[in-house]
Amino acid sequence: MERLERVERLLAELYPQVKEARKDLELLKDITSDLVMSILEERKRAAEERKRAAEERRRAAEELQKIRELRKSVSELKASIISHEKQMEQKEKRLDRLEKQMERKEKRSDRLEKRLERMEKQAEKDREWMRKKWGEMAQRLGTLTEDIFAPGIPYLAKSLGFRVKKRMLDVEYKKDGSSNQYDAIVVAEDETGQERVLVAEVKSRLRSEHFEEFRKKLENLVAYEPAYRGKILPVLASLKIPERLIETANRRGVLLVSMGGEYLEALNPEVLRVGKKGAAGET
């Protein structure tokens, strides 16, 4: 009994302690629960921090990669710029050389232009001198040809059977403000006693257009000397007469005379046998 009582007293004494202990346990549980929750939250925050840190490291790695790529691009661009600058320097040097060459060529061109200008001026002077000389030579040749042929026309007339009655050299007629010059006019009689007038025109070189020019001059001569109408025998004399013009002369009734034999020679004497030829419209 006593033991039971002691136990009951002991229990009675322990109960408040146990109750207090329970309270402490409950408090401890609460504290532990808060601590666990706090730890869990800290772990969660730590996990989130690690996640954010990992994301930051990933982004940092990406940024670093971009920076590396950018540096590489910048390096390549720099190398390209340096290469381009070198090329530009080379081109500038070539341009400088070309400019110097162009300057030298321009100077040579200027000198050449001046030389050409001097040559052109000299050539113009030479051409003017040549034209003057050719004119003088042509005039001299024409005068020389006339001096050769004109005096010989009367002798040619005699050799062709005419009896010379009158001879005139370098005859000039003027009327109504116009004038005509005739190298030789020979008034003669043929074998039948008929009067003929040999009118000679001397050319250094005979051309086809001279026939028509001579025809007009003969028409004018009839106007100056009406007594010559129907009596004129046209004579064209020249140092050089193309063979093709002989037929033209025969058709127009013109006697052609050139150098030959001892002095002058008629190239188509057959026109004398055709009959009398009038001046106007027949040559």
Pick the most confident of 80-89, 149-158, 245-254: 245-254
Domain membership of residue 49 (yes or no) is no
Structure tokens at 277: 């030829």
- CATH number of the domain bearing residue 234: 3.40.1350.10
Predicted TM-score of the model (pTM): 0.50
Q: What is the pLDDT of residues 258-271, one digit of tens each?
A: 987 678 999 999 99
Of 66, 237, 75, residue with least CA distance to 150: 237
CA atoms within 13 A on the CB side of 238: 19
pLDDT number for residue 87: 87
Q: Between 36 and 247, name the one with better pLDDT.
A: 247
Q: Per the structure, how many domains does the chain have?
A: 1
Domain membership of residue 6 (yes or no) is no
Domain membership of residue 84 (yes or no) is no
Domain membership of residue 232 (yes or no) is yes
Largest pairwise CA distance in the chain = 223
Domain membership of residue 41 (yes or no) is no
Domain membership of residue 217 (yes or no) is yes
Phi and psi at residue 282, to the nearest 5°: -110, -15
* pLDDT class of 128 with cuts at 50, 70, 90: low
Give the domain extent around 212.
149-274
* pLDDT class of 204 with cuts at 50, 70, 90: confident
User: What residue has token string 């691009």?
Assistant: 73
Domain membership of residue 109 (yes or no) is no
Q: What is the pLDDT of residues 143-156, one digit of tens each?
A: 545 667 778 899 98
